[in-house]
Amino acid sequence: MKRMMVLLQCMLLTAFAAKAMAASGELQPQQWQPIEEIAIAGDIPEFRGMPISPELPVIDPVVAPNYLDALAPATFWSGMLTYSFFGMIAVLSLFVVLNGKSKLAGGFSGNKVDRWSGMDIFVHWLGGIACLFLIATGLIMGTGRFLLEPNMGASHWIGVINSSVSLHDMMAWPFIVGWLVMVIKWMPKQMPESCDLAWFGKAGGYLNFGSFKGQHPDAGFANAGEKLWFWTFAIGGAIIVGSGLVMMFPSLVETKDAANLSLLLHLVCAVILGAFAVVHIFMATVMSEGGMECMVTGKCDENWAKQHHNLWFEEVQKR
């Protein structure tokens, strides 16, 4: 575990260094307004592409108005980002108060079962911690103009938003590494099974009232809820990574339409993944008794395995 923490520190230092080197280089123009330096003997170099007239620029006819219309209401996207994250926290908090936690029917047995490897734990926290930073800085970038800026001085706001943008860009790299390794490494265990629909039908056994109380539906290594989160993370993560890279490196696309579409997709996926991330964190830390231990030690209690992943536990016992 100590080696993994050292590796994580090295990766973060590398990201900081790369960010600093990028910041020290020459600023590059946006790809849709290239700047060309034309050297003329005996004269001041001419910069073509820079606006030289005080008149308003002509609107690029190739820009699709649909993208602009979708991005135009900044307050709408600010609200969507806020409600998807903080709204989900409020809903789940109320659910826990009314429903209670999912306790182990037989309590903790004290016997441990190996569930995750050291590499699994490392990439989970590498991507997970980076994801939390991305969510926090993304919320500031998307909502701070309306929620934070009016309550602080202009100089303070400039420092906050500039720091958030820099940290957001830096945390993208460990997130990409964690996301890619998790998707490739865990995909074989996330395929649909015949028991998945029944798991949803019994709400995963997490409801503590009515006919749902005491239900413990069958599940393999990953239950249906975890699979839903995995595929949302895998597909949504691919879109958010691709669109994010376009915004970090505009030269990857050739038109404003592509850049605007990337921003729109980034916002949509941020809303979806933000809400799912809250559910994932709640299920691991609050709802499921004994669940957090899995991604801290790599082991789980036998009774936890029997109650939440009985089909997988039976396979482990046969080995």
CA gap 253, 263 in Å, rounded: 12
Q: Is residue 224 very low, low, confident or very high in pLDDT (cuts 50, 70, 90)?
A: very high
pLDDT at 2: 52
50-59, 172-181, 216-225, range with the lowest pLDDT = 50-59
Tokens of 207: 């409801």
Taking the model in full, what pTM does it have?
0.78
CB-CB contact of 208 with 100 (8 Å): yes
Q: Is the pLDDT of residue 47 over 50?
A: no
pLDDT at 37: 55
pLDDT at 57: 47
Residues 6+ apart with CB under 8 A from 60: 32, 256
CA gap 292, 284 in Å, rounded: 5
What secondary structure does DSSP assign to the chain, as a single string? -HHHHHHHHHHHHHHHHHHHHHHHSPPPPPTTS--EEE--TTSPPEEETS--SSSPPPPPTTS-HHHHHHHS-HHHHHHHHHIIIIIHHHHHHHHHHHH--B--TT---S-EEE---HHHHHHHHHHHHHHHHHHHHHHHHHHHHHHTGGGS-HHHHHHHHHHHHHHHHHHHHHHHHHHHHHHHHHGGGGS--TTHHHHHHTGGG---SGGGTT------SS-HHHHHHHHHHHHHHHHHHHHHHHHH-GGG-SSHHHHHHHHHHHHHHHHHHHHHHHHHHHIIIIIBTT-TTHHHHSEEEHHHHHHH-HHHHHHHHH-
Residues 6+ apart with CB under 8 A from 122: 4, 7, 8
pLDDT tens, residue by residue, 58-112: 445 556 777 788 888 888 999 999 999 999 999 999 999 999 888 888 889 889 9
Give the residue extent of every domain in the chain: 75-89+111-318
pLDDT tens, residue by residue, 226-281: 999 999 999 999 999 999 999 999 889 888 888 889 999 999 999 999 999 999 99
Give the amino acid at 237. G
Q: Which of 127, 152, 129 is nearest to 140 (CA)?
A: 152
Q: Is residue 211 very low, low, confident or very high in pLDDT (cuts 50, 70, 90)?
A: confident
pLDDT at 50: 45
Q: Is the pLDDT of residue 282 over 80?
A: yes
CB-CB contact of 115 with 307 (8 Å): no
Q: Is residue 48 very low, low, confident or very high in pLDDT (cuts 50, 70, 90)?
A: very low
pLDDT at 7: 52
pLDDT tens, residue by residue, 119-169: 999 999 999 999 999 999 999 999 988 888 888 878 888 999 999 999 999
Longest dimension (CA), the chain: 89
CATH assignment, 75-89+111-318: 1.20.950.20
Looking up tokens 């839903």, which residue turns up? 228
Give the amino acid at 235. I
Q: Is residue 25 very low, low, confident or very high in pLDDT (cuts 50, 70, 90)?
A: very low
Q: Is the pLDDT of residue 24 over 50?
A: no
Q: Is the pLDDT of residue 8 over 70?
A: no
Residues 6+ apart with CB under 8 A from 21: none
pLDDT at 129: 96
Ranked by mean pLDDT, the top range of 48-52, 188-192, 250-254 is 188-192
CB-CB contact of 243 with 269 (8 Å): yes
